[in-house]
Structure 1
Amino acid sequence: MSLEQFTDRNVQQHYFKVDIEDYPETGWDRFKQVVKRGLSGELFVGLWVVMREMIKFDIHTVQYPKEKLPIGPRYRAVHEMQRLFESGTERCIGCGLCEKICISDCIRMDTRIDENSRKAVTEYTINLGRCIFCGYCAEVCPELAIVHGPRYENTSEQREHFILFEDMLTPIDMAIKGEQKEYPGFGAVTPNEDARVKKTPLAY
């Protein structure tokens, strides 16, 4: 392309005028316009497309909530707290890293020292109304205690919709039976993870 094509400011030479019909003023003119537009070919083309798709009987409608579409393994839905497989106690050690790294400031945690000299979580809430589901809390957790589960129905009538620690924690009977699911999403255990870890010079 030559430089003259970019420096030429006479752009009107490429314009063309569109024939615009006069606006109907009388009732008869309006009626003719409606008939002309209603019986145009585009209307029958649209009807034929609809009829063609109807006779195929290839229905793609999902009967929600009885049927749900599968979600991806890395989908970040409502949080869940995991338990230890050996003892059944919660994995959360109350380090507070999830609360510190939360960029939307929606996690609140309070801890205490129990009778076994172990830090225990007394209060843990997540405001789902403020949470942006970034996954940072699950990534930074050193014990893989918090993950993103598959439950994405988190609607509420209130603007402040909190989820408590007890609601996120896996029931003890499911943990004892081994029915706790390790989700392959953010913060969960992935297969062959040890082989992916790159050794640092301090590891030798």
Structure 2
Amino acid sequence: MFGTGLLKGLGVTLKHLRDTYLDDRERVPSRYEGSIDLGDGERIIRQPIDQEGLLTIQYPEEKRLLPERFRYIPMLIWDTEKGEDRCTACGICAKVCPPQCIWIVRDSDENGKPITRPAEFYIDAAVCMSCSFCAEFCPFDAIKMNHDFELAVYDRYPQLVYDKEELTVPIEYYAALWPTQYAAEQELIRQKEEEERAKAEAKAKAEAEKKAQAAERPKAQRSPEELEALKKKAAERAAARGKSASDEGKGQDEDPEAKKARLEELKRKAAERARQRQQESGE
């Protein structure tokens, strides 16, 4: 029948109107209950899951609260506690990026030696497909996905090519956007630190016990027979040393004539060398 589709469409519209009106009546005094006021007339609307009907959000003054797992352009994390970038310029994110929209230049020290810090970091937002591969493969949790989707510009280049300064955010910003994931990461870090601390304590305890056992271990005691044998050996060694010294003294006193002859021979040779030097100098 002519006009049936039009009537069905009007019926759907009336149903939405009724549901919206009734839902708004249930949420009196305000549908903004539970929303986040950003000031200057801007607010983030928390739309309940059980809400029926239609809710018109006055964008851009009003914005819908984005889910935590929403992802758009990557961001670099600045560790405020350590005062440094988490990024080490390893280049893994650039390698796994499907559209190849990440460029990294590693920094170097005063001697020109490369260091684990990015000097330049660029992401082409016009090419980025928000796949979050870079965030998933980063071994240092240095790159995460941002919620900022309002990136409209008049000129694609260079305004959509973001550098390191534009991409870097403090870790508190990431914790506010991803509270569940941030809490899970912190829990893993805490568990790892506890395991390392427990290992260190166990090692120190084992070393202390080993030292205590060594200190408490009784020293080996020798029997009287062994002590007597040691004394006898010591006496024999002392007697042998005394005999050797006596023999040397006797050897020196036995032949004084030979000793005198050697001294005379040495004097004669010294006199001959002196005469030869005088003759050579006279010539």
> What is the distance in 1 between the residues matched to 2:15 and 2:79?
56
Distance 1:54 1:139, change over 3 A: closer
Kindly report which structure 2 residues correspond to 1:37-116, keeping only aligned pairs within 5 A, or say none: 37=2, 40=3, 42-51=5-14, 53-54=16-17, 56-57=20-21, 59-115=54-110
Q: Which whole-Å CA distance do the structure 1 matches of 2:8 and 2:147 have between them?
A: 43
Q: In the aligned structure 1, how far is the partner of 2:155 from the partner of 2:182? A: 30
Provide structure 2 residue ranges, at least 5 long, that are not aligned to the other structure.
25-53, 192-283
Task: Give every structure 1 segment of 4 or more consecutive aligned residues whose post-TM-superposition deviation is greater than 6 Å.
Answer: none
Q: TM-score normalised to the size of structure 2?
A: 0.46
The structure showing larger relative contact order (alpha-carbon pairs under 8 Å, at least 6 residues apart) is 1
RMSD between aligned residues: 3.1
Q: CA deviation at 1:120?
A: 2.9
Q: Report which of the two has the higher share of helix.
A: 2
Normalising by structure 1, what TM-score? Answer: 0.61
Distance 1:53 1:127 in 2: 42
Aligned with residue 190 of structure 1, among 181, 184, 198: 184
1:134 pairs with 2:131? yes
Amino acid at match of 1:91: R
Deviates more, 1:107-116 or 1:49-58: 49-58
Q: Find the residue that maps to 1:142 and give its secondary structure.
A: coil
Distance of 2:150 and 2:135 partners within structure 1: 19
- Following the alignment from structure 2 to structure 1, what is the Cα–Cα distance between the partners of residues 67 and 132? 14
Pick the structure with greater CA Rg. Answer: 2
Equivalent residue pairs, number: 152
The percentage of aligned residue pairs carrying the same residue is: 28
**Contact residue 97 and residue 137 of structure 1 kept, 8 A:** yes
Q: How does 1:118-197 map to 2 (within 5 A)?
A: 118-160=115-157, 161-170=160-169, 175=170, 179-182=172-175, 183-184=177-178, 190-191=184-185, 192-193=187-188
Q: Secondary structure at the match of 1:125?
A: strand
